[in-house]
Structure 1
Amino acid sequence: MDPVTLARWQFGITTVYHFFFVPITLSLSFIVAIFQSVWLRTRNLAYLRLTKFYGKLFLINFAMGVVTGIVQEFQFGMNWSDYSRFVGDIFGAPLALEALLAFFLESTFLGLWIFGWDRLKPKVHLATIWIVAVGTALSASFILAANAWMQNPVGFHIDQTQNRAELDSFLAVLTNPVFMATFPHTMTAAWLVGGGFVAGVAGWHLWRINRAGRLTEQAEDVNAFRWATKFGAWVLIFAGIGVSLSGDFQGKVMYQAQPMKMAAAEAAFTDGTEFSLLTICPVDKQSEEHCRAIKIPGLLSFLAHGNFTEPVPGIVTTQAEYERTMTPRLEQLYGPEVAQRVSRNFAPNIPVSYWTFRMMITLGMISVAIGVFMLLFLRKSKSGHQRLPRTRWWLAAFIALPLLPLFGNSMGWIFTEMGRQPWVVFGWMPTIAAVSPGVPAAQVLTSMIVFTLLYGSLAVVEVKLMLHYIRKGLPEDVQEPKVVEHDDEPLTFAY
């Protein structure tokens, strides 16, 4: 295997692994803040117990996200030095703001939230977790702005002497149409994960208590978990609506910025208007004569254009257009050898693009459906009794619920990044020109094995910690925090 393939595998493994923690952090920070706000308003200790229970799980996830996220920065210098040189002037501003503003905002106020239960006034303490939540959203926005520039470069010019991109307008980067579409889609998808996580964990506890026949002994826990389950289910439903609306907007923007990605997502070699629900097709042939597909007429046109009749260019048409417009630019920037190699096939991996797009949608829809059924089941029966889950079917649903939207998010990001290939910066820098020229394949392979083993070990630690504290359930003997009177009182670690 050549260094480019190995470097792509390493970046893919570490990035997808890191992204497992991102949507949970983005959503759970806000959910914990909501729980604490409800407690402060009602003074009902059940909400305080939920705050501390889910707050502990949030802290474990946040720590793992920070540890795994640091490696992403290292990889730019390790395996992608030419890429770093090309985009350095563009990425400097958003990544610096992400580190100096968003990350320090998160870490500083998260520390105040952890240690400030008996040091800060309740409203001030509540403000700290809300600032953490806002910080996570800001962090995501700056990272997504940088990624959106890779998908749709704007506000820059090429320095011909150094062959690198230089920033003309940071405002153009922050108002990039791809960023404006990606940010709400990513945030609502993260809330889909958070809702599934809250509902799944709380619902599992309801199932466990009911199966053990301890409804009377643990009545307070049942009431708290039942409320949390319904809350998570409502979050799932509203987030699902948000994902659908923002996804439709993002699809139209994606078509305008990267028409080949739209064609690859459909495995459509010829122009058409139909959306494929399922296609079995020999992707090495540039013809759809040999395909077997179930299609919805007009839906692809609606996703791309907003109407049901205008054809969407297929892979063959888009390939010809890319050859006409992009090959001369590649020859000028990287020489005829690189231009010829890239221009041979401007389409990404068709099976990966096709199936990850559909898996993303399917997993999200199943998650929302479970949330709807959960709400319907947990409503009061006609006799006025509270219905609680007991069968093993519900156990399977509660275990799957946090995982389905999480994997759906991952499929979405794999589609987004793989669908951009063969470009690392769409239209300007091919992936084969972005790797570090002096790093041999053996060195990349070694670092990939080390990181994979390290991440595997961290996964074991993460899963064990999460399962341990999930099984422990709501904290017992929770009292309303009392602010200390003297400065020399020791700090209390609340977890």
Structure 2
Amino acid sequence: MDTEILARIQFAFTVAFHYIYPPLSIGLGVILIIMEGMYLKTKKELYHKMTRFWVKIFALIFGIGVATGIVMEFEFGTNWATYSRYVGDIFGSALAAEGLFAFALESGFLGVLLFGWNRVSPVVHFISTIGVAFGSMFSAVWIVVANSWQQTPAGFKIVGEGLNQKAEITDFWAMVFNPSSVDRLSHVIIGAFLAGAFLVLSVNAYYILKGKFLEIAKPAFKIALVVAMISSLAQLFTGHNSADGVAENQPAKLAAFEGHYPKSEVADLYLFGWVDHKSKEVVGIKLPKGLTFLIHQDFTTPVKGLDAFPEDEIPTQVNAVFQFYHLMVAIGMLLIGLSLFAGFLWWRGKLFQYRWLMWVFVWAVFLPQIANQVGWFAAEMGRQPWVVYGLLKTSDALSQAVTANQVLFSLILFFFVYLLLFLLFIYLLNKKIQHGPYDEKMEDQRPHQTASVPDFN
């Protein structure tokens, strides 16, 4: 493989691994606010124990997330020096804002959140929980703003010539509120809420199946289910708005999402399929003229296809973009169905009566993570061959000094380091889950509950 392919694989690997953790911390932060808020309102000890348990999980996720995110900053300089020089003014502003407004807020309150129990008042501790949760969301804001600028550049001018060209900010707020930032940010944040909610659902479904910590597991499950129901439905709307923005600002990407090739014809909406880029055909199940209707709210307005663009300005891996995009949509619909079905059973008073459903929730923890990953793959691969859409191609953004062997060596090294971190994370997470919210062996901390296990019919 050449240097560019290896550098892209390395960056994709490190970002994908890092992206496991920030959505979990954002989603858990919101749920922690709800749990601790319930404790302040009701003064029930079960909410206090529940919050303390999930704070420990949050701290583990936060720590691994910070450690895995540092590497990417170095990759910008080692593998993508031309890109770094080109977007340095833009990215520097966004990342500086993240440090000032987000990371400082998050880290400043984190110490109180972790170690302030019984040292500060409940209200002050609750404020620290809110500060950490909002700090994690603000971090996402500035990262998404920087990435969205690559998709839809705005508020800048190009200075210099040749290899010394770079983008400079002319309007900071135009850069922040570039045409795709709000839609993409809402889609990312809601995806993070789903990741956190389904982690809580998974762990508490496991406790319910084992008949352990039921006094805490059932209320925690219900809290996370409310977040999951609201977020899954909201994701349907944010996803639609984001797709509308792609249709307007990145029509080649939208065409790749649906494997639409004709220059200007009505477009079908595929439920699933397979794209043959050479023959420019898609085989699958489709809704005739469905994409045209979603974009234009009629069945006659044509949609620009991949043939309307130069061959060197469209994604080379159209089928991969198609599959990633449709997998994200399919999982999103599945999460809506699963959440609403569980909500219906809750309304009927039968939420915890079906053992198979609890097993579904135990394993459903992977679904939001997969959706977040493939959604990011579709967005970034669909932008190719541009690293800054319409301005700088990926092939021109590579460092001139780095060699393929150097990138390959660091990729292998990162793989083993990240594998070790992941195994450590799984070990520590499992250890905390197995221990649970309190020690059942201690009589004075054991909550009152019936000896029988719930009837799963």
Task: Tell whether the structures are fold-level matches, with TM greater than 0.5.
Answer: yes
**For residue 255 of structure 1, what is the aligned residue in structure 2?**
247
Distance 1:272 1:135 in 2: 44
The structure, 1 or 2, with the larger RCO (C-alpha pairs under 8 Å, 6+ apart) is 1
**For residue 344 of structure 2, what is the aligned residue in structure 1?**
376
Describe the SS at the equivalent of 1:435. coil
Distance 2:336 2:430 in 1: 24
After TM superposition, the structure 1 stretch with the greater mean CA deviation from structure 2, 261-270 or 304-313, is 304-313
Distance 1:478 1:93 in 2: 50
Distance 1:380 1:304 in 2: 38
Q: What aligned pairs does 1:443-482 form with structure 2 within 5 A after superposition? A: 443-476=406-439
After TM superposition, the structure 1 stretch with the greater mean CA deviation from structure 2, 190-199 or 446-455, is 190-199
* Residues 304, 478 of structure 1: alpha-carbon distance in 2 compared, 3 angstrom cutoff: farther
Distance 2:153 2:275 in 1: 33
Which residue among 281, 284, 288 is the counterpart of 1:297?
288
Q: CA deviation at 1:405?
A: 1.1
Determine if contact 1:206/1:389 at 8 Å carries over to the other structure. no
**For residue 277 of structure 1, what is the aligned residue in structure 2?**
271
**For residue 205 of structure 2, what is the aligned residue in structure 1?**
203
Distance 1:244 1:443 in 2: 43
**For residue 264 of structure 1, what is the aligned residue in structure 2?**
256
Describe the SS at the equivalent of 1:144. helix
**For residue 6 of structure 2, what is the aligned residue in structure 1?**
6
Which residue among 320, 344, 363 is the counterpart of 2:312?
344
**For residue 160 of structure 1, what is the aligned residue in structure 2?**
160
Describe the SS at the equivalent of 2:291. helix
Q: What aligned pairs does 1:307-322 form with structure 2 within 5 A after superposition? A: 307-317=298-308, 319=309
Code of the residue aligned with 1:280 in structure 2: it is W
Code of the residue aligned with 2:292 in structure 1: it is S
Which residue among 354, 366, 369 is the counterpart of 2:322?
354
Q: CA deviation at 1:367?
A: 2.3
Distance 2:95 2:316 in 1: 28
Determine if contact 1:273/1:312 at 8 Å carries over to the other structure. yes
Code of the residue aligned with 1:196 in structure 2: it is F
Determine if contact 2:232/2:339 at 8 Å carries over to the other structure. no
Q: What aligned pairs does 1:408-447 form with structure 2 within 5 A after superposition? A: 408-447=371-410
Code of the residue aligned with 2:12 in structure 1: it is G
Alpha-carbon displacement from aligned partner over 1:15-38 (angstroms, at most 9, x marks no partner): 011001111111101111210111
After TM superposition, the structure 1 stretch with the greater mean CA deviation from structure 2, 298-307 or 236-245, is 298-307
Code of the residue aligned with 2:194 in structure 1: it is L
Is 2:352 the partner of 1:388? yes
Is 2:10 the partner of 1:17? no
- Superposition RMSD on alpha carbons, in Å? 1.8
Distance 1:39 1:450 in 2: 45
Q: Which runs of 5+ in 1 are unaligned?
A: 210-217, 324-342, 480-495
Aligned length: 438
Describe the SS at the equivalent of 1:177. coil
Q: What aligned pairs does 1:9-408 form with structure 2 within 5 A after superposition? A: 9-161=9-161, 162-209=164-211, 221-270=213-262, 271-286=265-280, 288=281, 291-317=282-308, 319=309, 323=310, 344=312, 346-378=314-346, 388-389=352-353, 391=355, 393-394=356-357, 396-408=359-371
Alpha-carbon displacement from aligned partner over 1:305-353 (angstroms, at most 9, x marks no partner): 3444312111112x1xxx4xxxxxxxxxxxxxxxxxxx53523411111
* Residues 387, 421 of structure 1: alpha-carbon distance in 2 compared, 3 angstrom cutoff: closer
Distance 1:128 1:292 in 2: 53
Q: CA deviation at 1:388?
A: 2.8
Q: CA deviation at 1:378?
A: 4.4
Q: CA deviation at 1:437?
A: 0.4
Code of the residue aligned with 2:209 in structure 1: it is W
Determine if contact 1:273/1:309 at 8 Å carries over to the other structure. no
Q: CA deviation at 1:268?
A: 1.3
Q: CA deviation at 1:200?
A: 1.4
* Residues 293, 129 of structure 1: alpha-carbon distance in 2 compared, 3 angstrom cutoff: same
Code of the residue aligned with 1:419 in structure 2: it is G
Distance 1:47 1:253 in 2: 41
Describe the SS at the equivalent of 1:187. helix
**For residue 453 of structure 2, what is the aligned residue in structure 1?**
none
Determine if contact 2:325/2:378 at 8 Å carries over to the other structure. yes
Determine if contact 2:30/2:193 at 8 Å carries over to the other structure. no
Q: Which runs of 5+ in 2 are unaligned?
A: 447-457
Q: CA deviation at 1:390?
A: 5.9
**For residue 483 of structure 1, what is the aligned residue in structure 2?**
none
* Residues 294, 40 of structure 1: alpha-carbon distance in 2 compared, 3 angstrom cutoff: same
Q: CA deviation at 1:292?
A: 2.7
Describe the SS at the equivalent of 1:419. helix
After TM superposition, the structure 1 stretch with the greater mean CA deviation from structure 2, 47-56 or 308-317, is 308-317
Distance 1:259 1:304 in 2: 11
Distance 2:293 2:124 in 1: 48
Q: CA deviation at 1:170?
A: 0.7
Code of the residue aligned with 2:197 in structure 1: it is G
Alpha-carbon displacement from aligned partner over 1:142-184 (angstroms, at most 9, x marks no partner): 1110000000111111113331111111110111120011111
Determine if contact 2:35/2:50 at 8 Å carries over to the other structure. yes
Describe the SS at the equivalent of 1:344. helix
Code of the residue aligned with 1:182 in structure 2: it is R
Distance 2:245 2:294 in 1: 10
Q: CA deviation at 1:364?
A: 2.0
Distance 1:208 1:425 in 2: 51
Q: CA deviation at 1:478?
A: 6.1
Distance 1:140 1:202 in 2: 27
Code of the residue aligned with 1:388 in structure 2: it is F
After TM superposition, the structure 1 stretch with the greater mean CA deviation from structure 2, 358-367 or 458-467, is 358-367
Distance 1:153 1:5 in 2: 25
* Residues 389, 13 of structure 1: alpha-carbon distance in 2 compared, 3 angstrom cutoff: farther
